[in-house]
Chains A and B, each alone.
Chain A
Amino acid sequence: MEYRLQLIAKDVLGELVSADGSRLRRVAAAICKFAIERAGLESHLVNEAMRYLVSGQAVPMRIRTDLEDLVDQLDETYFDLKEVAEATNKGDETWHPMFHKARAAAAVLFACEEDPLRAASESAFEANAAAHDDTEALKKVMLESLHGR
Chain B
Amino acid sequence: MRTPGPLVEEAALYENPIRIARVRATAFQQALPPGARGRATMAVGIAETPQGNRVVLVSTSEANRFIRSGVAALKRSDEIFVTGLTTHAEQNIVVFAESQGWELITVAAGRPICEVCMAELVRVGARPANPRMVAAWWSIDFS
Q: Which residues of A contact B (CB under 8 A)?
A: 1-2, 4, 7-8, 72, 75-76, 79, 82-83, 86, 92, 96, 99, 103, 110, 122, 128-129, 132-133
Contact = CB atoms under 8 A, between A and B. Distances in A.
If over half of A's interface residues share one DSSP class (helix, strand or loop), that class is named, otherwise mixed; here it is helix
Interface in B23-39: 33, 35-36, 39
Contacts of A96: 63
Nearest to A96: B63
B72 A7 contact: yes
Contacts of A99: 62-63, 66
A1 B36 contact: no
Query: Top 5 nearest A-B pairs by Cβ distance?
Result: A79-B39, A129-B66, A1-B72, A4-B72, A1-B75
Contacts of A83: 39
Contacts, number: 45
Contacts of B65: 7-8, 128-129, 133
Interface of B: 33, 35-36, 39-40, 62-67, 69, 72-73, 75, 81, 84, 87
Contacts of B64: 129, 132-133
Nearest to B75: A1
Contacts of B35: 72, 75-76, 79
27 contacts: A1-B75, A4-B67, A4-B69, A7-B67, A7-B81, A72-B33, A75-B33, A75-B35, A75-B36, A75-B39, A79-B35, A82-B87, A83-B39, A86-B87, A92-B63, A92-B87, A96-B63, A99-B62, A99-B66, A103-B66, A110-B69, A122-B69, A129-B63, A129-B66, A132-B64, A133-B65, A133-B84
Contacts of B72: 1, 4, 7
A90 to B, nearest CB: 12
A142 B118 CA distance: 42
Residue among A4, A82, A132 with the most chain B CB within 10 A?
A4
A55 B62 CA distance: 34
Contacts of A110: 69
A82 B40 CA distance: 10
A8 B83 CA distance: 12
